[in-house]
Amino acid sequence: MKRIAPVVLGLAALIAVPAVAFAGPGQGDGRKPAAARDGAGRLRQGPGARRLAKFRHRAHKVLKALDLTEEQKAALKASREAAAPVREDLKAKIQAIVAAARQGERTPEARKAAREQIKAAIEGARSAVEPSASRFVGSLSAEQKAKLAEKAKAHGKTFEEAKLVKLVEGVLIAPKGHRHGRR
């Protein structure tokens, strides 16, 4: 399970790229803003970082609730390795979109257009790994799905297999996450 956490964290980082890249006010002079700190010296988090942390937490809870077997862990790892070219292609596309946006005009319309391009690139990557994600979700046992349905019901929600497939797609296209000193 400890090996899946970095994957989930990487997914969250990938999803946050558009929010972080265009979240703050435009700095026309090209300088990066100084890191803001709170009274205790900790870095303050903006809305993009909070959303990323929330997603990481949710994805970690879902994967932990599945209690994957060794075969399922191996299948997820193999699917993730097979998705490496898609991940690298997505990373290059996002970097190109962000670089073009920084070179261009910094207007709300330009930012919106860049976000839409990034969303389209992510959707393209998701559709490329969708068969692998569907196979993985299909390999889950009825008991594992029942656990997720029970957890969802406890939170006043319903379990939808399509949402689980989307989460697994995100895990497959996520960049490798930082481990922050944990080994």
Structural domain boundaries, residue 84:
4-21+46-173
pLDDT bin (cut points 50, 70, 90) of residue 116 is very high
What is the pLDDT confidence band of residue 168, given thresholds at 50, 70 and 90?
A: confident
Residue 110 lies in a domain: yes
In the predicted model, is pLDDT for residue 133 greater than 50? yes
Contacts 24+ apart (CB under 8 A), 80-89: 80/7, 80/171, 80/172, 82/132, 83/128, 83/129, 83/132, 83/172, 83/173, 86/125, 86/128, 86/129, 86/172, 86/173, 87/125, 87/172, 87/173, 87/174, 87/175, 89/125
Cα 101 from Cα 42, distance rounded (Å): 30
- Quick one: residue 106, left, alpha or beta (phi over 0 = left, psi -120 to 50 = alpha)? beta
Looking at the domain assignment, is residue 132 inside a domain? Answer: yes
Q: Taking the alpha carbons of 90, 92, 93, 95 in that order, is the dihedral positive or negative?
A: positive
Asked if the structure places residue 72 within a domain, the reply is yes
pTM of the model: 0.66
Tens digits of residue pLDDT in 54-83: 766 777 778 788 888 899 889 988 998 999
As a whole number of angstroms, the distance between CA 38 and CA 49 comes to 15
Dump pLDDT digits (tens) for 9-53. 454 455 555 444 444 444 444 444 444 555 666 655 666 556 656
Overall average pLDDT of the 108-114 stretch? 92
Distances (CA, A) of 144 to 49, 65, 170: 30, 8, 20
- Domain assignment present for residue 28? The answer is no
| Bridge partners (DSSP) listed for residue 43 | 37
Considering the domain boundaries, does residue 38 fall inside one? no
In a domain, 29, yes or no: no
Count of domains forming the chain: 1
Assess if residue 161 is contained within a domain: yes
Residue 119: predicted pLDDT: 93
Q: Is 134's pLDDT higher than 90?
A: yes
Q: What is the pLDDT of residue 31?
A: 45
Higher-confidence residue of 39 and 148: namely: 148
Residues with Cβ < 8 Å from 3, sequence gap 6 or more? 73, 77
Is 65 a domain residue?
yes
